[in-house]
Amino acid sequence: MKQLLSGNEACAIGAIRAGVRFFAGYPITPSTEIAEYLSRELPRVGGTFIQMEDEIGSICCMNGATAAGVKAMTATSGPGFSLMQEGIGYSIMAELPCIIVNVMRGGPATGTPTRTSQADVMQARFGTHGDHPIVALCPWSVRECFDLTVEAVNISERLRIPVIVLMDEIVGHMREVVELPETVKIWQPDKPKPAPNQYYHYDDSNNYDAPIASFGEGYRIHLTGLTHRKDGFPTDDPEIIKWNLDRLRNKIEQNRSWLWDIYYEDIGSETVIVCYGSAARAGMEAKRQFELKTGRRVGIVRLRMVWPFPNERLIALLRSARRVIVPEMNQGQLYREVERTVSLQVPVVSVQRYDGEMLTPEEIIAHL
């Protein structure tokens, strides 16, 4: 069935199809349509929607629902995302899978609620204190808002880690005709749960993908934000602190073989555009127009997963590039990450736009 949908709606539909049955959030432009859609649709499928008193309450409420065994999600924008940071840290530390959608708007502070931006890319990575892993996905179209939300749910369940869906105002509010699949692949752990007396909530012999116990199942689990042992109880033993933080880091490091998502074309070209999210729409159009005018090919690399940053793969993809262009709707946040993946002789140009307007293909063509 073909539908005219906004990115925010497609994201909400993707969440429900991927098994999300709980949403706790707080209204904030430009993410509110996600909450509105889910407030209507979640009760219909036996789920729960709650509007909390603020974003701090929202993420903690979501963590509570996850701990009780329900797939949960929240959606917000810059200011709310800032408030959620400690709660995201809790999800990471207690290893509670969840989805945080951040429909980016201009900042800092209240910034520009109704304008677009990609300026939370670094916050998504380093927003919460302490060394921690994170996964962040960046859709560029309405269809991708659906697909990447489904992917986010599956990754978060598989690695027991919060996954951030970094949309932006353009992608969230843009309407496109899409045909969404009725059923999607849902990640299911294939092992049975061990008996309560042999159960460790943070067992590291299973690459994180053993089924986990939730509240109310007789396992009498203890969840804490403190550094903990494999049974979940806090400790300040240096050896176990290191084990705990290594365990978190290894979620990314040991799964890099599949933990990446890049779309690319013509990477043998001299000039390659590296982009993500709605700036990639301008990047793609710049490539098309430039090729039409000059007959010369331009490469494009579109990061659908921005964190963990795909260093190794980008090094391989940009090996023959002589010039790299990084268009972003911020003051060059991912540009340095890209710069590190090419040799010193290869110039990397940061094309920035941060006045709340969409980056245009012309602005990119000017640098090609």
Task: Pick the stretch among 4-12, 45-53, 291-299, 315-323 that binds another protein (CB under 8 A).
Answer: 45-53
Minimum CB separation of residue 125 from another protein in Å reads: 21
Are 136 and 166 in contact by the 8 Å Cβ rule? The answer is yes
Minimum CB separation of residue 111 from another protein in Å reads: 24
**What are the contacts of 194-203 at 24+ separation with CB within 8 A?**
196/220, 200/230, 200/231, 201/95, 201/230, 201/231, 201/232, 202/95, 202/228, 202/229, 202/230, 202/231, 202/232, 202/244, 202/247, 203/230
Residue partners of 183: CB distance under 8 A and separation at least 6: 17
Minimum CB separation of residue 252 from another protein in Å reads: 23
DSSP string, 257-294: TT---EEEE-TTSSEEEEE-TTHHHHHHHHHHHHHHHH
Closer to another protein at the Cβ: 41 or 285? 41
**Residue 207 is a binding residue for another protein (CB under 8 A):** no
87-106 binders of another protein (CB under 8 A): 87, 90
Minimum CB separation of residue 364 from another protein in Å reads: 43
**Residue 164 is a binding residue for another protein (CB under 8 A):** no
**Residue 56 is a binding residue for another protein (CB under 8 A):** yes
**Residue 194 is a binding residue for another protein (CB under 8 A):** no
Closer to another protein at the Cβ: 52 or 252? 52
Is residue 85 packed enough to be buried (19+ CB in 10 Å), middle (13-18) or exposed (0-12)?
A: middle
Rounded Cα–Cα distance for residues 329 and 215 (Å): 42
Beta 175-179 vs 348-352: how paired, if at all?
Answer: unpaired
Closer to another protein at the Cβ: 123 or 128? 128
Q: How many positions of this chain bind another protein (CB under 8 A)?
A: 43
Binder to another protein among 223, 252, 262, 349 (CB under 8 A)?
Answer: 223
Q: What Rg value do the Cα atoms of the chain yield, rounded?
A: 21
Are 33 and 142 in contact by the 8 Å Cβ rule? The answer is no
Binding track, positions 224-263, relative to another protein; x by CB under 8 A: xxx------xx-----------------------------
**Residue 65 is a binding residue for another protein (CB under 8 A):** yes
Residues that bind another protein (CB under 8 A): 22, 24, 40, 43-44, 46, 48, 50, 52-54, 56-58, 60-70, 72, 86-87, 90, 214-216, 218-226, 233-234
